[in-house]
Amino acid sequence: MRMLTAHHFAGFAAGPRLIVLGAVHGNETAGTRGIQRVLGELDGGRWRVERGSLTLVPVTNPLAYAKGTRSGERNLNRRLLPTDAPRSTPGRSQVDRPPSGGGVRTRTPGGPMQYEDHIANTLCPWLAAHDVLLDLHSFRSPGQPFVMRGPADNRGALEPFAHAVAEGRLAEHIGPARIVDGWMSAYAQGAARRRARGLPDADPSYGIGTTEYMRAQGGYGVTLECGQHDDAAAPEVAWRAIRQAVALLGLADLPLAPPAAPLQRLSLVTVVDREHDDDRFAKTWTSFDALRAGDVIATRRDGTPLRAERDGHIVFPDPNAQPGHEWFYLAVKA
């Protein structure tokens, strides 16, 4: 578990460089199984990469995968940045020189590096060496697959970006009909509130995962949530998405299916944190359950109801969230 395995296929003609990740979270195996199916096709000569390159990483977090848990020692898909040294000044995070692939390099704030820090030091240069990322995940509650994409083109300080059209085309073609954006801006607002209350996870950079890091390196990418963890159809969602991405980018002579229709486009607008163990949901929510303005979503320990301010959807409800951490997101029609 002290190495990462990648399978790299390069065509003789020029073209985009695509990297596909599975099991960034160790209990999310649909992507791993989808990648293994594609590897079987490539090894069996059923199709080949003609242009550009394709890198497949079936298991991105080997420790978490071996344990069958979301994380090894921490969430790999939060604050994904290269780390410069095993130890640093306790309680302080230091910014250092850019790594060879570009971007920001940090030193771990005190103590030994966690397992995921070692992964990041290998994975981040791989991401920086590619043009496009497809990151394959799954989720705990029942629900339909969906795609997470990034922001519109902008020159802002939070997540500057210049490939929104290409990323949108990728999001539309990989299969699901639901496309969600707004992750970083919603997370940054939540981080600001935590910072004002002196809570952990108050740094907006904690919201940086694989796709956010990819965009910071000049590329683009999407996260595909393939379905519920144990859904038998989820590995096929992953497999089809890989083939669609390969076809769309012209890496191989595979057929390209049209986007699903109609597409549902949603934007995350806010995140609500759990403040106490006695905070309770009003019902058992599933991601993308519809909300009407005024609906009671949850109740605080002191009896204060949390109501939907407008029509929309609840996303990523977590009844097991720890106090001071993300409890649920709200999304509205984009």
What is the mean predicted confidence (pLDDT) over 82-95? Answer: 47
Could you tell me if 61 and 54 are in contact, meaning their C-beta atoms sit under 8 angstroms apart?
Answer: no
Instruction: Give the least confident one: 80-89, 169-178, 276-285.
Output: 80-89
Confidence of residue 99 (pLDDT cuts 50, 70, 90): very low
C-alpha to C-alpha distances, 144 to 14, 328, 334, nearest whole angstrom: 36, 18, 18
For the chain, the farthest-separated pair of C-alpha atoms sits apart, in whole angstroms, at 65
- The beta-strand segments (E) located in 58-210 are 94-96, 105-107, 132-139, 146-148, 178-181
Residue 93 has pLDDT above 50, yes or no: no
Tell me the three state secondary structure of residue 151: coil
Residue 194 has pLDDT above 90, yes or no: no
pLDDT tens track for 20-34: 999 999 999 999 999
What is the mean predicted confidence (pLDDT) over 264-268? Answer: 97
Distance CA 28, CA 228 (A): 9
H helices within 179-288, ranges in order? 183-196, 210-216, 234-249
C-alpha to C-alpha distances, 240 to 15, 42, 68, 145, 175, nearest whole angstrom: 21, 14, 24, 12, 7
Model-level pTM? Answer: 0.90
pLDDT tens track for 37-47: 999 999 999 99
What is the mean predicted confidence (pLDDT) over 295-322? Answer: 96
Beta strands 178-181 and 264-273 are: parallel
Distance CA 117, CA 209 (A): 13
